[in-house]
Structure 1
Amino acid sequence: MHIFYTPDIHSDAYILSEEESKHCIKVLRLDVGNLLYLVDGKGGFYDAVVEDPHPKRTKLKILSKLENFGKRNHYVHIAIAPTKNIERVEWFLEKATEIGIDEITPIICDRSERKEIKTERLNKVITSAIKQSIKAYHPVLNEAIRYSDFIAKSSNSQKFIAHCMDEAKSTIKDQLILNSNYLIVIGPEGDFTHEELEAAVKNDFVPVSLGNSRLRTETAALEACFELNFLNR
């Protein structure tokens, strides 16, 4: 199944970008009349055929469209402290997109090893993952924000903070309201500070555990993503 990401599609015809055209014609070797599929990142899934196989501007004819393709009954937003090795963030984004995630926000915490993040490359990882896993919704990747600012303005229905401190905490399973809008924050390798935890609790975040193992940041974020999706099946 050949899938292309076409966020600007709006009619019964579409011209692929030069990069996608090259992939379509030179790599996949598609020709006139060959079937392919398009996703617009907003829930639209399209059947299309090659009408003009040009290596720089391939023209497609749209045959049909499905609305809300693969729409889930819940919303998952994960805020994660970027790791020093950006490849570990890329790994998380790829796998979380395959499992099911709606929004990601990089948060800069007191103990964060990485203070800046470039979203262009990371968005390409997400785009590749939605095509590979046949997703019609493209997760939103926000720009990095200070943890304190993010905590103060968050407004999701259910808000969780996962940490490793010897403080009272529950589990996602025990706190979860099904079919809801979730936000869970995952801290850096050195964990949140006590002050950061207190700030989250004051802003109605529920402290939770992700199990007995001490997890890397990206593993913890993926575990949270999986658990929220699994419990909503």
Structure 2
Amino acid sequence: MQLFYTPHIEPQHTAFLLSEEESKHAIRVLRLQVGDTIHLVDGRGGLYKTEILDAHPKRTSLKVLHVQTDFGKASAELHMLVAPTKNIDRIEWFLEKATEIGMQEFTPLICEHSERKEVKVERLEKVAIAAMKQSLKAYLPKINPAITFAKFMASAEAQASTVQKGIAHCVDAEKNYISNAFQPAGKYLLLIGPEGDFAEKEIKDALAAGFIPLSLGNARLRTETAALAAVLEISLLNR
């Protein structure tokens, strides 16, 4: 099944016009023709089965045959806040894999020890869209602009008591594994720091806000590896 990302389609639509980019891919690259069936996703859980009415390489027109809402809806909600790496390719790799596995929201977290202070959201969104389509998902993770650790800790989300919150840090202290610390079918908020780790004050502030100190094992992991390990553990917890 080949998916096309169409964020502007709505469940009540009976017909739809593909964008020029998606039309070109469908007609010029995949060589689809009138009468062929293609599937659209809106990034909000909607899966649309459609039929090509006009195979135009710039504006392919479609007839909507069937709509399925909440396609592949997860039982949990995971928001990952990860310090962007100096080499942005590593964060893009993480985002690709986390989207495939199942992550609902991502925020680049600028910490005291962060080597990278700026992130282009548009580029990350393109990576997430490609991963969503490749993994046959209908939900696109929300990609937020970068935020400093201090500003995030002052937010309502960080202070919420209904969210299961954890911070993975490298300081030698008592920690919990995700499988022991969290319950399934919940909302999760996980913090992954830079390769220089969180600053001491950042760890103290997170713990004071109710974040559970987490262990991801005995090995020293790169930032993007640690983040992906956390996503995998949440996925297994909610399997």
Same-fold call, TM > 0.5?
A: yes
CA-CA distance at 1:68 after TM superposition: 0.6
Q: What CA distance in whole angstroms lies between the structure 2 residues aligned with 1:214 and 1:49? A: 51
Distance 1:13 1:94 in 2: 31
Task: Say whether the 8 Å CA contact 1:152–1:203 is kept in structure 2.
Answer: no
Q: Helix, strand or coil: the match of 2:95?
A: helix
CA distance in 1, matches of 2:33, 2:184: 46
Encode CA deviations 1:137-194: one digit per residue, 9 max, x unaligned. Answer: 1100000000111122123610000011112211111111111000100000100011
In the alignment, what sits opposite 1:182?
Answer: 188
**Which of 173, 179, 197 is the matching residue for 1:173?**
179
Correspondence for 1:227 among 210, 229, 233: 233
Query: Is residue 187–residue 217 contact of structure 1 (8 Å, CA) maintained in 2?
Result: yes
* Alignment-mate amino acid for residue 183 of structure 1: L
Q: Which runs of 5+ in 2 are unaligned?
A: none
Root-mean-square deviation (CA, aligned residues, Å) is: 0.8
Structure 1 segments of 4+ aligned residues over 2 angstroms from their partners: none
User: How many residue pairs were aligned?
Assistant: 233
Instruction: Tell me which residue corresponds to 2:89.
Output: 87
C-alpha distance in structure 2 between counterparts of 1:193 and 1:168, whole Å: 17
* Map of 1:44 onto structure 2: 46
Q: Matches of 1:6 and 1:19 in 2, distance apart?
A: 11
**Distance in 2 between residues matched to 1:230 and 1:173, nearest whole Å:** 9
Q: Secondary structure at the match of 2:154?
A: helix
Counterpart of 2:57 in structure 1 is 55
CA distance in 1, matches of 2:88, 2:62: 36
Equivalent residue number for residue 201 of structure 2 = 195
> Which residue identity does 1:38 align to in structure 2?
L
2:212 aligned partner: 206
Alignment-derived partner of residue 36 in structure 2: 34
The alpha-carbon deviation at position 224 of structure 1 amounts to: 0.2
Q: Secondary structure at the match of 2:152?
A: helix
Q: Find 1:96's aligned residue among 95, 98, 108.
A: 98
1:160 to 150, 158, 166: 166
| Aligned-partner Cα distance in 1 for 2:150–2:213 | 16
8 Å contact from structure 1 (residues 38, 45) kept in 2? yes
Give me the TM-score of the superposition, normalised by structure 1: 0.98
